[in-house]
């Protein structure tokens, strides 16, 4: 069995189900995957709680479950919070589970953008010029003003304090002028953790590309593919609503170089952006499974299944040539398409093409979509909101 930790994990569940791997979930109450016929709900857990709440007591509960199984389950994590939890409690969890996780220092740096900026500088990674913002300063420092406008401000912790500061759940905020920066600056004092500012790389969201990889415990690349965003919600710095699998040798080459430089082990998603001059800039690294798992598996590289095979000691799924131009869409991409000027008729025509992967929905497993719709109806009635997955 694979026990999956995190939220909005249905695409990871689907990739494991492709290989007939039984799945247990540790997810929030309303996660769509809980309604899948492919899963067993092991435990309800809110991964959006502060990190200190994911403590030794949770690790003890999970190990107690693992010890009740015939063989040690494989542990997989699909959110920053669950990644940090597994890293911090790796010794205790190893008493009941099999898993692979990067070194603790590397996990901490990938979860915290301020630490990642220092890591990138130490290893000369191709990250845009970055300044860690001191919330105690009454005005922006000179090094930030010298960076030039526009700049992008990103939170280290994308929690309620960030939402309150920017007025939305956007992943980043674009600042166009010094005057706009001065107006926004006082709001930084309310953040739970420091934010970072980066030099803006011109170009649309479709210039954002990614490298997806599983590096085994020997440091060898066991599986990899590349991808590109099609649309996000909102249109800028939003959550991915549609994507396409690509075959980009330059992204793959640079992705391998970064992994080697960091001596990374396990799964990772590296986000880059093409600048107008053709250079690739590294934005961030997520050392965990993501929604890209299922479209990647459908394209020929099933990263979760590769990890599972290695950890249980069975032959890896036979690799095949990556099927480029395979698209994936979340149901909310209909809204994103409309915001991009795509008519409903055009969008439905694109969605109905053979091979396009429908996020959340499958005819033989309708529960996740129906559950998601029920949760959204309930959230509208109660006045809360639900996010599109990263």
**What percent of the chain stands above pLDDT 90?**
79
- The DSSP bridge partners found for residue 154 are 196
Task: Tell me: do 263 and 320 sit in the same domain.
Answer: yes
* 383, part of any domain: no
Task: Tell me: do 217 and 310 sit in the same domain.
Answer: yes
Which residue blocks in 185-231 are alpha helix, DSSP H? none
* 371, part of any domain: no
CA distance 191 to 158: 9
The predicted pLDDT at position 289 comes to: 98
Q: Please choose, from the candidates 73, 68, 70, 56, the residue with its C-alpha nearest in 3D space to the C-alpha of residue 22.
A: 73
Q: Of the residues 199, 225, 260, which one is the last residue of a structural domain?
A: 199
Residues 6+ apart with CB under 8 A from 78: 4, 5, 6, 7, 8, 9, 12, 288, 289, 290
φ and ψ at 282, to 5 degrees?
-85, 130
Task: Tell me: do 261 and 339 sit in the same domain.
Answer: yes
Structural domain range at position 173: 129-199
The predicted pLDDT at position 390 comes to: 55
Q: Please choose, from the candidates 339, 34, 308, the residue with its C-alpha nearest in 3D space to the C-alpha of residue 204.
A: 339
The predicted pLDDT at position 331 comes to: 94
CA distance 201 to 280: 10
CA distance 10 to 23: 11
* 219, part of any domain: yes
Q: Are 55 and 25 in contact (CB under 8 A)?
A: no
pLDDT tens per residue across span 62-78: 999 999 999 999 999 99
The arithmetic mean of pLDDT across residues 15-35, rounded, is 96
pLDDT tens per residue across span 164-206: 999 887 889 999 999 999 999 999 999 988 899 999 999 988 8
The arithmetic mean of pLDDT across residues 287-309, rounded, is 97
* Sheet architecture: strand order including 173-175: 130-132, 195-199, 151-155, 173-175
Burial of 85 (0-12, 13-18, 19+ CB in 10 A): buried
* 122, part of any domain: no
Number of domains in the chain: 3
pLDDT tens per residue across span 366-387: 999 999 999 888 877 766 554 5
The predicted pLDDT at position 320 comes to: 74
The predicted pLDDT at position 159 comes to: 80
pLDDT tens per residue across span 350-364: 999 988 999 999 999
Task: Tell me: do 193 and 309 sit in the same domain.
Answer: no
* 235, part of any domain: yes
For the cut 60, the answer to whether the pLDDT of residue 7 exceeds it is: yes
Q: For residue 294, give the CATH number of its domain.
A: 3.30.470.20
* 381, part of any domain: no
Task: Tell me: do 209 and 345 sit in the same domain.
Answer: yes
Q: Are 247 and 327 in contact (CB under 8 A)?
A: no
pLDDT tens per residue across span 227-242: 999 999 888 888 899 9
Residue ranges with strand state E in 279-377: 280-286, 327-329, 357-358
Residue position matching structure tokens 């597994």: 86
CA distance 388 to 331: 9
pTM reported for the whole predicted model = 0.93
Torsion of CA 116, 118, 119, 120, to 10 degrees: 90
Residue position matching structure tokens 């590349």: 226
The arithmetic mean of pLDDT across residues 24-42, rounded, is 94
pLDDT tens per residue across span 104-114: 999 999 988 88
Q: For residue 100, give the CATH number of its domain.
A: 3.40.50.20
* 252, part of any domain: yes
Task: Tell me: do 219 and 191 sit in the same domain.
Answer: no
Tell me the CB-side half-sphere exposure of residue 195, using CA atoms within 13 A. 30
φ and ψ at 368, to 5 degrees?
-60, -45
The predicted pLDDT at position 26 comes to: 97
* 377, part of any domain: no
The secondary structure of residue 379, as a DSSP letter, is: H
Q: Please choose, from the candidates 287, 252, 283, 256, the residue with its C-alpha nearest in 3D space to the C-alpha of residue 269.
A: 287
For the cut 70, the answer to whether the pLDDT of residue 389 exceeds it is: no
Output the average pLDDT for the chain.
93
Q: Give me the DSSP letters along 227-280.
A: EEEEEEESTTT-EEEEEEEE--HHHHHHHHHHHHHHT--EEEEEEEEE-TTS-E
Tokens of 246: 């690509």
The predicted pLDDT at position 384 comes to: 56
pLDDT tens per residue across span 121-173: 999 999 999 999 998 898 999 999 888 899 999 988 778 888 899 988 788 99
Task: Tell me: do 354 and 256 sit in the same domain.
Answer: yes
The predicted pLDDT at position 353 comes to: 92
Task: Tell me: do 227 and 264 sit in the same domain.
Answer: yes
The predicted pLDDT at position 171 comes to: 85
Q: Are 74 and 99 in contact (CB under 8 A)?
A: yes
CA distance 44 to 46: 7
The predicted pLDDT at position 175 comes to: 94
The predicted pLDDT at position 388 comes to: 45
Please work out, in degrees rounded to the nearest 5, the angle formed at the alpha carbon of residue 177 by the alpha carbons of 172 and 182. Answer: 80
Task: Tell me: do 192 and 214 sit in the same domain.
Answer: no
The predicted pLDDT at position 240 comes to: 93
Task: Tell me: do 102 and 7 sit in the same domain.
Answer: yes
Q: For residue 181, give the CATH number of its domain.
A: 3.30.1490
Task: Tell me: do 238 and 316 sit in the same domain.
Answer: yes
The predicted pLDDT at position 324 comes to: 87
Task: Tell me: do 215 and 269 sit in the same domain.
Answer: yes
CA-derived radius of gyration, the chain: 20
């Amino acid at each position: 069995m694979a026990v999956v930790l995190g939220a909005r994990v249905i695409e990871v569940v689907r990739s494991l189900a492709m290989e007939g791997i039984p799945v247990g979930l540790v997810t929030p109450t309303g996660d769509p995957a809980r309604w899948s016929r492919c899963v067993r709900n092991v435990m309800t857990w809110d991964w959006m709680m502060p990190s200190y709440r994911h403590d030794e007591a949770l690790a003890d509960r999970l190990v107690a479950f693992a010890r009740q199984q015939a063989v040690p389950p494989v542990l997989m994590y699909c959110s920053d919070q669950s990644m940090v939890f597994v890293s911090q409690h790796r010794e205790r969890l190893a008493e009941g589970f099999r898993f692979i996780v990067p070194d603790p220092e590397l996990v901490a740096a990938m979860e915290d953008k301020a630490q990642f900026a220092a890591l990138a500088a130490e290893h000369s990674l191709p990250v845009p010029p970055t300044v860690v913002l001191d919330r105690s300063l009454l005005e922006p420092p000179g090094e930030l003003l010298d960076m030039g406008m526009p700049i992008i401000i990103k939170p280290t912790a994308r929690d309620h304090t960030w939402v309150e500061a920017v007025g939305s759940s956007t992943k980043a905020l674009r600042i166009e002028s010094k005057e706009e920066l001065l107006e926004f600056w006082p709001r930084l004092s309310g953040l739970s953790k420091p934010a970072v500012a980066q030099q803006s790389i011109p170009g649309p969201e479709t210039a954002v590309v990614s490298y997806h990889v599983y590096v085994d415990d020997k440091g060898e690349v066991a599986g990899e593919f590349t991808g590109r965003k099609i649309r996000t919600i909102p249109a800028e710095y939003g959550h991915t609503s549609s994507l396409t699998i690509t075959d980009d040798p330059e992204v793959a080459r640079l992705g391998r170089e970064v992994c080697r430089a960091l001596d990374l082990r396990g799964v990772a998603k590296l986000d880059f952006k093409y600048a107008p001059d053709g250079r690739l800039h590294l934005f961030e690294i997520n050392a965990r499974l993501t929604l890209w798992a299922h479209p990647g598996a459908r394209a020929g590289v099933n990263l979760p299944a590769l990890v599972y095979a290695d950890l249980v000691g069975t032959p890896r799924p036979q690799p095949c040539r990556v099927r480029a131009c395979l698209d994936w869409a979340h149901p909310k991409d209909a809204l994103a398409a409309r915001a991009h000027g795509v008519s409903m008729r055009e969008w439905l025509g694109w969605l109905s093409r053979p091979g396009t992967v429908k996020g959340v929905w499958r005819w033989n497993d309708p529960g996740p979509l129906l559950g998601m719709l029920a949760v959204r109806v309930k959230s509208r009635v109660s006045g809360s909101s639900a996010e599109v997955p990263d």
